[in-house]
Amino acid sequence: MYDLKKGYEVAKEYYAQYGIDVDQMMERCDQTPLSMHCWQGDDVRGLEKREGGLNGGIQTTGDYPGAARNAEELRADIEKAMQFIPGVLKVNLHASYQEADTFVDRNAIKPEHFANWADWAVEKGLGLDFNPTYFSHPKSENGTLSAADEEVRKFWIEHGIACRRIGEYFYKRTGKPCVINHWTPDGDKEFPIDTLGPRLRLKDSYDRIFEATKDVEGVIDGIESKVFGIGMESFTAGSHEFCMGYVMSKGIDHIIMTLDTGHYHPTEVVSAKLGAIFAFSKAVLLHVSRPVRWDSDHVVAFDDETKAIMEELVRLGKLDSTYIATDFFDASINRIAAWVIGLRNTRKALLQALLQPVDMMKKAEADGDVSGRLAIAQEFKAAPFSLVWDYYCDKQNKGVGLDWLEDVRAYEKDVLLKR
Ligand code: RNT
Ligand code: ZN
């Protein structure tokens, strides 16, 4: 290992030339919560005591050994990954990760079915976020909250209501707000003749869920849009226009938009949407993912778009108004490695974004110095960032560079391969 302290001192001096306080930014980065999704650990299978695979237009591909088979294994795997992920973390659960003794259907889930998760989170000092599971269920085949069948729609409204109550329970147990993400896969393989009816039903369902749970405290609700799902290529009820319209028309602080980086047309980017949304909304929920040609949910990379999103949040001064969650599921590699790589990359992009000379660039812009603005922004792309990142990881005792890899390999040998 090279001299981390020396590297950090050099970087600190480099950034100081541009008025950037590295220590302050490391602290800022560290205190920004990232919500780590539980579903990377078992390929979105969940813990319900019933048969049936993943559906709803999303897919995991690959059959790497060692997926978690029960709650204990999943929690152990999350803890293992967390050993190498710096900064404040929350854990993001889906309703399908209930731990009832016998089968309990989605509309009947209660806080008690999530008590083990809450106990564990309290013990570890973690916040919990939540997601209704409007997919992978026999009743989700012909729509959920937008279903034409009123019995089916009622079932899913009850699920949404149950989930908001569980969110409040998490808030009360952990003392930290629970961010709930509502995503429905509802759509059609072909373009429907009636494209308005499903939207009006979806709108009415959300209204009923929120109306019935008006008393719920400590919960923030993201409404997640999507462009298409596998098998539902032509129509999505919860499209971007629908979700944005819904959130904006409600004008209620706890109802916000969820932007998933894989849910747009290939040349559309989330980083370019944030400035417009913040003109109307106080907060936003992000699902950081990596689409490769489609909404493939590859592990988050330290790529241009992830960096651009974080840069934009810092430039807008909206880091504190943004809930950052990860959402990917790769079954073709070691699942702990997937978490470590994806969450570290998300945090890394955030730290790099905090180390940009925002004031300097803003001043150039205000002065009409467009050449200077471009020059400064470009210069910073090659700043000695990794020296700060390594030092930060070491300071947090989360492993420098590839330190984590050997450990994760040993865990694979000793634990995962024995499953
Ligand atoms: C699906 C959405 C959704 C899911 C999770 C499992 O396209 O992105 O957020 O990935 O709820
Ligand atoms: Zn998502």
Using CA atoms, how far residue 215 sits from 22, 139, 211, 294, 383, in Å, is 43, 28, 9, 39, 49
Q: What is the pLDDT of residues 23-45, one digit of tens each?
A: 999 999 999 999 999 999 999 99
CB atoms within 10 A of CB 205: 22
Confirm whether 30 is a catalytic residue: no
Q: Which phi-psi region, left, alpha or beta, contains residue 7 (left: φ > 0; alpha: ψ -120 to 50)?
A: alpha
How far apart are the two ends of the chain, measured CA to CA in Å? Answer: 34
According to DSSP, residue 139 is labeled G
Both tokens of 339, joined, read 């978490």
Tell me the HSE value of 48 on the side-chain side, using a 13 A CA sphere: 21
Q: Which of 55, 260, 270, 286 to mutate to test the pocket of ligand 1 (most atoms within 8 A of CB)?
A: 260
Active site residue 260: yes
Residue type, position 303, single letter: D
Stretch 117-123: mean pLDDT: 98
- The reply to whether ligand 1 has any atom less than 6 angstroms from the CB of 391 is no
Report the separation in Å between the CA atom of 327 and the middle of ligand 1, taken as the mean of its atom positions. Answer: 7
Confidence check: pLDDT of 49 > 90? no
What is the DSSP secondary-structure string of 5-20? HHHHHHHHHHHHTTT-
Task: Measure the CA–CA gap between 49 and 102, rounded to whole angstroms.
Answer: 7
Asked whether residue 320 carries a pLDDT value surpassing 90, the answer given is: yes
Is pLDDT above 90 for 411? Answer: yes
Q: Which of 224, 305, 394, 412 is catalytic?
A: 224
pLDDT at 196 over 90: yes
DSSP 50: S
The pTM score is 0.98
Mean per-residue pLDDT, 348-357: 98
3-state secondary structure of 208: helix
User: Which amino acid is it at 10?
Assistant: V
Active site residue 273: no
Q: The tokens of 173 are what?
A: 């147990």
What is the per-residue pLDDT for 52? 85
What spacing in Å lies between the alpha carbon of 368 and ligand 1's midpoint?
42
Q: Is 183 a catalytic residue?
A: yes
Ligand nearest, relative to CA of residue 329? 1
The finding on whether 58 has its CB within 6 A of some atom of ligand 1 is yes
Pocket probe mutation, ligand 1, options 93, 186, 287, max atoms within 8 Å of Cβ:
287
Per DSSP (E only), the strands in 191-350 are 219-224, 235-236, 255-260, 284-288, 290-292, 294-298, 322-326
Is residue 295 annotated as involved in ligand binding?
Answer: yes
42 is in an annotated binding site: no
pLDDT of residue 208: 98
Of all ligands present, the nearest one to the C-alpha of 184 is 1
Q: What is the pLDDT of residue 51?
A: 82
Is 43 annotated in the active site? no
Average pLDDT on 60-87 reads: 98
Using a 6 Å cutoff on CB, does residue 260 contact ligand 1? yes
Asked if pLDDT for residue 91 goes beyond 90, the answer is: yes
Q: Is 48 in the pocket of ligand 1 (CB under 6 A)?
A: no
Active site residue 226: yes
Is the per-residue pLDDT at 50 higher than 90? no
Catalytic residue among 287, 298, 307, 398: 287
> What average pLDDT does the segment 107-133 reach?
98
SS (H, E, C) 141-187: CCCCCCCCCHHHHHHHHHHHHHHHHHHHHHHHHHCCCEEEEECCCCE
CA of 181 to the centre of ligand 1 (A): 9
Angstrom distance (rounded) from CA 114 to CA 276: 37
Q: Please name the residue whose Cα sits nearest to atom 10 of ligand 1.
A: 327
Going from the Cα of 285 to the center of ligand 2, the distance in angstroms, rounded, reads 10
Residue from 43, 295, 312, 390 carrying the catalytic annotation: 295
261-295 pLDDT, tens digit per residue, is 999 999 999 999 999 999 999 999 999 999 999 99
